Amino acid sequence: MSSVIDLLKSHKSIRKFTGQKIEPELFDILIDAGQAAATSSFLQGSTIVRITDPRKRREIAEFAGNQPYVETAAEFMIFCADLKRAGNYCEAYEKPFEGDFTEHFIIATVDVALMAQSLVTAAESVGLGICYIGGIRNNPGPVSELLELPKGVYPVFGLCLGYPDQDPEIKPRLPRSVILKQEVYNEEGDPEAIAEYDDLISEYYRTRTGGGHGITWSEQVSTLLSEKSRPHMKKFLVEKGFKFR
C-alpha cells in the first residue's frame, strides 16, 4: 500500500497543539505544495491570509464560536476565494468584468478547497496536525473587516496548523457502497448500510476521548439539515460582489 494512501486514510482533526513553532522554511514548502493543486481554468482564485497577531487570533476565535485552538495553533490561516485579483485585469485589457456569475463563484471556492487540502496533506506527511475552522462563516462580515477583504474576496474557512498534542481516534466514514455508485444514482441497499454505520458511529461517539453522547450519523445530519444554517451568508456574499447571475 502506498504511504500516501495510508496517510490520507489516517486523517484526523487536531484541536490540541504543542508550543513548538513551524520552521519558516517548512511553512513556505507547505504553501508551495498547496499552490501546486489543480486550479480550474488556471484562475488560481485563492488567497491565504496568515494571522500571527495574538489580538486578531483572539477576535477570530470569538467570531468562530470561541474555538481556543485558533489561538493556540502554531499557525492560523484564513483561506479566501478571490476573484478580485484576476478581475483587476479585465480593465487592463479593456474587457468587461463578468466575474459575478455563479460559475465563477464555484470555480474560486473549489480552488480554495483544493489548495487547502493539498497543503493539509503535505503538512500531515511531516507530522503536523490540522483543524479546519468553518466557524469563521458565523461572522463573515467582521472577519472580512478585520482582514480588510475587498469586494470579490470572501473568507471560506480557517485552518489551524501545528504539532499535535493529542492522538484522537479516526472517525469512520460512510460505507463505500453508499458513496460510490455505478453508472447512475441509486439508493439500493443504502438504508441497511447506513443503519449499520449508525451503530458504528454511535459507538465511536460513546467511547472516543471526550465523547459520550452516542448520537448516530443519521440523527446528526438530520438535525443539520432541519435547521437554518448561517442564513446571513447569501446577503453577505452579494454584498461582497458575488451576485450569482
Share of the chain above pLDDT 70, in %: 98
Residue 144 covered by a domain: yes
Q: State the average pLDDT over residues 78-101.
A: 94
Residue 184 and residue 163 share a domain: no
Residue 122 and residue 9 share a domain: yes
- CA pair distance 198, 201, nearest whole angstrom: 5
Share of the chain above pLDDT 90, in %: 93
Rounded alpha-carbon distances, angstroms, from residue 240 to 48, 185, 191: 17, 36, 41
Give residue 224's pLDDT: 92
Residue 215 and residue 134 share a domain: no
The set of residues, in sequence order, having a beta carbon less than 8 Å from that of 48 and lying 6+ positions away, is 31, 34, 77, 78, 79, 80, 115
Tell me which residue of 3, 9, 18 sits closest to 129, measured CA to CA. Answer: 18
Give residue 210's pLDDT: 65
110 CB burial (10 A radius; 0-12, 13-18, 19+):
middle
Residue 234 covered by a domain: no
pLDDT for 3 beyond 70: yes
- CA pair distance 106, 174, nearest whole angstrom: 26
Pairing of strands 129-133, 46-51: unpaired
Sign of CA dihedral 212, 214, 218, 222: negative
User: What tens digit of pLDDT does each residue of 35-84 get?
Assistant: 999 999 999 999 999 999 999 999 999 999 999 999 999 999 999 999 99
Task: State the cell numbers at 28.
Answer: 513556505
Q: State the average pLDDT over residues 111-131.
A: 98
Q: Where are the alpha helices (DSSP H) in the chain?
A: 3-9, 24-35, 54-63, 69-72, 84-92, 102-125, 140-147, 176-179, 190-207, 217-226, 233-239
List residues bridging with 129 in a β-sheet: 162
Residue 23 and residue 126 share a domain: yes
Residue 207 and residue 154 share a domain: no
Give residue 212's pLDDT: 66
Q: Any idea which of 2-6, 137-141, 157-161 has the lowest mean pLDDT?
A: 2-6
Q: Which CATH number belongs to the domain containing residue 77 in this structure?
A: 3.40.109.10
Residue 90 and residue 36 share a domain: yes
List residues bridging with 80 in a β-sheet: 47, 155
Phi then psi dihedrals of residue 27, to 5 deg: -60, -45
Task: State the cell numbers at 216.
Answer: 448516530
Rounded alpha-carbon distances, angstroms, from residue 104 to 40, 97, 111: 10, 11, 11
User: What tens digit of pLDDT does each residue of 178-220 get?
Assistant: 999 999 999 999 999 999 999 999 999 988 766 667 899 999 9
Residue 152 and residue 175 share a domain: no
Residue 98 and residue 29 share a domain: yes
| Structural domain containing residue 202 | 171-227
Whether the CB-CB separation of 162 and 17 falls below 8 Å is answered with yes
How many domains is the chain built from?
Answer: 2
Residue 220 covered by a domain: yes
Q: What angle do CA 29, 33, 34 make, to 5 degrees?
A: 120
Q: What is the mean pLDDT of the chain?
A: 95
Residue 233 covered by a domain: no
